[in-house]
A = this chain, B = another copy of it.
Amino acid sequence: MSTDIAVDIAAKASHAAKAVANLTTEQKDFVLQSMANHIRSASETILAANADEVATASANGTSAAMLDRLTLTTERINAMAQAIEQIISLPDPVGATRQIERRPNGINIEKRRIALGVICMIYEARPNVTADAGALCFKSGNAVILRCGREAIQTSLAIAKAMQQALREHELPDEVISIVPDPDRDLMLSLLKQDNYIDLVIPRGGEGLIRFVTEHSRIPVIQHFKGVCHLYVDQSADLQMALELLLNGKVQRPGVCNALEGLLVNKYIAADFLPMVATALAKHDVIVHACKQSIGYFANAQAIADSDFGQEYLAPEIAIRVVDDLDAAMAHIDQFGSQHTEVICTADQANAERFIRQVDSAVVMHNASSRFSDGGELGLGAEIGISTSKLHAYGPMGLEALTTEKYVVTGNGQTRG
């Protein structure tokens, strides 16, 4: 039963994908503007559906944070439409061609960028992801299947309906952007087996969700488990700069994946730097978990055992460790990092280069805040997800990560000898 529904959803999306793959940039941008307009026009309908769902979620005792993410307002709907208008301004990756080689026999080899086909997004109760992901997948020439959390299905359906009106006006099938109307887990499992029709699965949510999807999917999955990001302050660091990077990384928005969770301090500067750190963190009420060598500098730090590093606090809370040198810092990151974002603060170019080369992380930074590790700040314009596994994409994923390249070979009758 759930298999039949999954096959139907996936097959229709796959069929719809063919209609999008070869649209010109102008055509796609025109439809996207129409989507933004329809979302604005449908505000009342969307808000009504959302109000019902917020009431239900609230009655079911949903957490305040989740209710906040679920709740739409006129301003938030307008922001959704603006986000689509921003996607219009991004360059279209589809069709970009790069010359590879002209072979001695005269055949010419190029690679040309094409859409992936069908993307399946699995996410929680965030209605704005519906509009964002729908628009990003469309701009990159893909169809998308959106499977959101049960709390937000009616809101998502209302948003998708507005976008589908724009599709229809341009004679494109509704299934270019389809919503899974049923939160049934068996249906999700069946969707994850439709590797004949679906090209990529992007789960967004907690580590549990992503592990569950990875375990059950026969389709490639973009994995983004967590962000345990470190700042290593090297012997030659500008300590004032290091302090600013620390505060920006830990205090500015502690609940996000590119916030700092660990501070590593070179032992030669510990006596100078840690008192500065203690004063600054105390001012921001940051809870400190300190190693034996650093705990003495803090008034209220909790001791941390060597094996307890690597926590993702997502809160004003940080682990601090004094390390012997750059190699010890990199060994710590290798053991406790999450391949998300790692930062070195140093004036020593050779150390910076060694850190950049050797640290295995999707984003490696020198003298810049870990908070820059997202699609918008890295110049991608908008982000469909972040990959902390290396296949297909590594790090923040923009439109290009929703495409691949095919080989284009042209000749004048060449045959192989």
Residues of chain A at the chain B interface (Cβ within 8 Å): 18, 21-22, 95, 100-101, 103, 107, 109, 112, 114, 116-117, 195, 199-200, 214-215, 218, 220, 238, 241, 244-245, 247-248, 252, 334, 352, 356-358, 360-369, 371-373, 377-379, 389-396, 404-416
Contact = CB atoms under 8 A, between A and B. Distances in A.
Contacts of A361: 406
A200 B368 contact: no
Contacts of A357: 22, 95
Contacts of A412: 241, 367
For this chain, the copies found in one complex come to 2
Contact of A100 (B100, B378, B411, B416): B378
A377 to B, nearest CB: 7
Given A363-B406, A364-B409, A389-B199, A248 B415 contact: yes
Contact of A409 (B199, B252, B378): B378
A171 to B, nearest CB: 17
17 contacts: A100-B378, A101-B379, A103-B377, A107-B368, A117-B360, A215-B218, A220-B220, A220-B391, A244-B413, A248-B415, A356-B408, A364-B408, A367-B411, A368-B409, A368-B411, A391-B392, A394-B405
Nearest to A106: B368
A92 to B, nearest CB: 14
Contact of A413 (B214, B245, B352): B245
Nearest to A246: B415
A225 to B, nearest CB: 11
A367 B108 CA distance: 11
B416 A248 contact: yes
A412 B347 CA distance: 9
Given A100-B378, A411-B366, A416 B252 contact: yes
Contacts of A352: 410
Contacts of A362: 406-407
Sorted nearest first, the 8 A-B pairs with minimum C-beta distance are A368-B411, A248-B415, A241-B413, A371-B416, A101-B379, A392-B392, A220-B391, A365-B409
A100 B360 CA distance: 20
A375 B234 CA distance: 45
Contacts of A368: 107, 409-411, 413-414
A128 B16 CA distance: 43
Contacts of A390: 114, 116-117, 199, 404
A318 to B, nearest CB: 16
Nearest to A252: B416
